[in-house]
Amino acid sequence: MQIPTYRTFYFLILNLLLLTNIFAIDTSIGVLNIIDKNEDEISTINYKGEPYIAIRDVSRILSDREPYENIARQKIVLYLSDNRVKVSNLSSFIIVNNKVFQLTKNAIQKENGIYVPAKSFFSILKNSIYPGVDYDPGKKLLSLNLIKFNINNVNIEQKSNGTILRVKTSKQFSDGDISSFINTNGWFYLTIKDGLVDTSMIKKTQMKGVVTKVISNQFDESAQLAFRVRTQIIGHEVYQSSDPNTIVVTLRTPFKKLSSHIKELKNRWKLDTVVLDAGHGGKDGGAVGKRGAKEKNIVLDITKRVGSLIE
């Protein structure tokens, strides 16, 4: 039976309308950086009546690092400062660092990557890692009140002859912009011109080696890190590495301190008691000689004589 032409046309129009309701091209979301007044925009698609944004667009706006995408598994990892945001296609759950959050709707895969619902995604970012992110769905405006820190965190390593401080940065500084000195009051200071320090991350530094406390201070034209040390520092070196960007500081402690520590450890293993075990005794007389001499009597006599010599 042949379907009339007008009915075929009707079904085509109906299917087109259904697809339009599911995936509709929207305009964009405006982006305003409140600090430097820069403007940008994020393109959106309208999925089931809600604006969706591409994770790659979010990365372009909020990060200097490219996201990692596993196309085969349809997963993407967004790097925001020292935070990782994992998103999977067809899942409403995203992972921020090691904590799980839920979107209002599932993420979806399109030709140019994974998309997420804008409103709930920006809400999660605001509540988890970026308090300065504000999204107004009515105005379709994303306001950013974010400071891009270039001094991110500190890692401390204890070595046999000192301590190494690794200050992670997001850029290379000029050597002339980095200064350091040791104060006689037991503090080591590292000052970085044009540095913007993430004080919240510095507070999370784990103390090791000679360092007992770390304090960060933000000034108008520089940032300063102060390290409280428990012992004398006889010297230090400061240099930068580029992969990753890091300011490395080595703090050298006196060798006499090290020598005394080694001597103390050796003394712990010194023996002040010697035990001489004659072996056989009691009912076990051991071997018997040709003329009836028992082994236990011989070794006991020898043991007593050795003991007298040692004493």
Q: pTM higher than 0.85, yes or no?
A: no
Q: Which residues contact 285 (CB under 8 A, 6 or more apart)?
A: 294, 295, 296, 297
pLDDT, position 20: 46
pLDDT range class, residue 293, cuts 50, 70, 90: confident
> pLDDT: is 233 or 94 the higher one?
94
Average pLDDT, the chain: 86
Over 80: is that where the pLDDT of 81 sits? no
pLDDT range class, residue 35, cuts 50, 70, 90: confident
Residue 38, phi then psi, degrees to nearest 5? -70, 145
Share of the chain above pLDDT 90, in %: 56
| Strand, helix or coil for residue 20 | helix
Q: Domain ranges in the chain?
A: 5-144, 151-260, 271-311
Question: Among 236, 130, 239, which Cα is nearest to 178's?
Answer: 239
What is the C-alpha to C-alpha distance for residues 181 and 197, in angstroms, rounded to an integer? 19
Chosen CATH of 5-144 out of 3.30.470.20, 3.30.457.10, 2.30.42.10, 3.40.1260.10: 3.30.457.10
| Strand, helix or coil for residue 207 | coil
pLDDT, position 21: 46
Question: Among 276, 284, 281, which Cα is nearest to 302's?
Answer: 276
Question: Which CATH number is 151-260 given?
Answer: 2.60.40.3500
What are the C-alpha distances in Å from 133 to residues 34, 121, 198?
10, 11, 17
pLDDT in tens, 251-289: 998 765 556 667 777 777 777 778 888 776 667 777 777
The full DSSP string for 215-228 is EEEE-SSEEEEEEE
Task: Please say whether the beta carbons of 112 and 52 come within 8 A.
Answer: no
Residue 132, phi then psi, degrees to nearest 5? -85, 10
What is the C-alpha to C-alpha distance for residues 253 and 231, in angstroms, rounded to an integer? 7
Over 60: is that where the pLDDT of 303 sits? yes
What is the C-alpha to C-alpha distance for residues 173 and 244, in angstroms, rounded to an integer? 13
**Which range, 127-131, 162-166, 285-289, has the best average confidence (pLDDT)?**
162-166
pLDDT, position 9: 56
